Amino acid sequence: MASQNTEWDIDNLPNRLTIFRILLIPIIVTSIILITSEIEYFKNYEYHLGYLAAWTFVAASITDFFDGYIARKKGIVTVFGSFLDPIADKFLVVSSLILLQALGRIPALLVIILVLREVYITALRLLAMEKGFKVPVDSSGKWKTALQMVSIPMLFAYDYPFGIPFPELGTIFIYIASLLSLYSACFYSFNTMKKLKSARNEAKAQKSKQKTEETTAEASQGLNKEE
């Protein structure tokens, strides 16, 4: 757990990796914009630009793993990192999904499902945090994230290296990720609503107990006055 002296620190290795991940996003965006542009010069470099976007995404995903690992290993938990890390993840994934849709490599419906799911889960976590509890990560959510991280670079490259069908595998994985995103959203919703209901019942019980104690105290004071 971070101490009072370090929780507001900004300059540490996990935060540097997070900032680096954000700085990689414009490279991906620029690569795909050049592919979709009408400029004839870049038509000859679609293959290279696709791989540039793919490998940049892979590099960004690796920094995501290591900044979390280092933060947990060394107990570096800061306000800045807690805010920026999930934002960086959302920027990376959402921008990549939109770019893939612009390339016509995934349908708009899948982008809507995956993006809205991210927004919904973020709102759900904020609600849970406000009420004083966390939404634990489910295995379906982890698998969804893993499949996204594999499918997106495959669809950026859109190639058949060593006979591996990146387009077909990437498409299958992104569809499975979409299904898992819907399932995990339902799972998180059920558990959050269950905890909210439990918290509400506890608050009602506490209020009822307090009211009973106040009534008892008032009655006791009334008896003392009569005596």
- Inform me whether the pLDDT recorded for 200 exceeds 90: no
Q: For the residues 73-86, what does the mean pLDDT come to?
A: 79
Are 120 and 110 in contact by the 8 Å Cβ rule? The answer is: no
How confident is the model at residue 155, as a pLDDT? 97
| Residue 11: band (very low, low, confident or very high) from pLDDT cuts 50, 70, 90 | confident
User: In this predicted structure, what is the pLDDT of residue 101?
Assistant: 96
How far is the first Cα of the chain from the last one, in angstroms, to the nearest whole number? 57
Count, in order, helices (H) and strands (E) of the chain: 7, 0
pTM of this structure: 0.83
Give the pLDDT of residue 75: 78
Could you tell me the two tokens for 108? 């708009």
Distance (Å, whole) CA 181 – CA 212: 46
List, in order, residues 6 or more apart from 182 with CB less than 8 Å away.
113, 117
Query: Residue 3 — pLDDT band, cuts 50, 70, 90?
Result: very low
CA–chain centroid gap for 176, Å, is 17
Distance CA 114, CA 120 (A): 10
Q: Tell me which of 3.40.50.1110, 1.20.120.1760, 3.40.190.290, 1.10.340.30 is the CATH number of domain 13-202.
A: 1.20.120.1760
Show me where the domains of the chain are located: 13-202
What gap in Å lies between CA 114 and CA 16, rounded to an integer?
27
How many Cα neighbours within 13 Å face the side chain of 121?
A: 22
What is the spatial distance between Cα 207 and Cα 189, in angstroms, rounded to a whole number?
Answer: 27
Q: Which of 20-34, 72-86, 115-129 has the highest mean pLDDT?
A: 20-34
Residue 105 to residues 21, 36, 37, 158, 219: CA-CA distances in angstroms? 24, 12, 16, 9, 74
| CB-neighbour burial class of residue 143 (10 A; exposed 0-12, middle 13-18, buried 19+) | middle
- Which pLDDT score, from 0 to 100, does residue 217 have? 67
- What whole-number distance in Å separates Cα of residue 49 and Cα of residue 157? 8
Task: Name the one residue in this structure whose structure tokens are 């306000």.
Answer: 79
Count of beta carbons in the 10 Å neighbourhood of residue 82 = 12
Question: Using CA atoms, how far apart are residues 88 and 19, in angstroms rounded to an integer?
Answer: 8
Q: Is the Cβ–Cβ distance between 153 and 54 less than 8 Å?
A: yes
Q: Choose from 72-76, 165-169, 182-186 the range with maximum mean pLDDT.
A: 165-169
Confidence band (pLDDT; 50, 70, 90) for 69?
A: confident
pLDDT digits (tens, 9 = 90+) for 109-136: 999 999 999 889 888 888 887 777 777 7
What CA–CA distances, in Å, run from 141 to 89, 121, 180, 183, 209?
A: 14, 10, 7, 9, 40
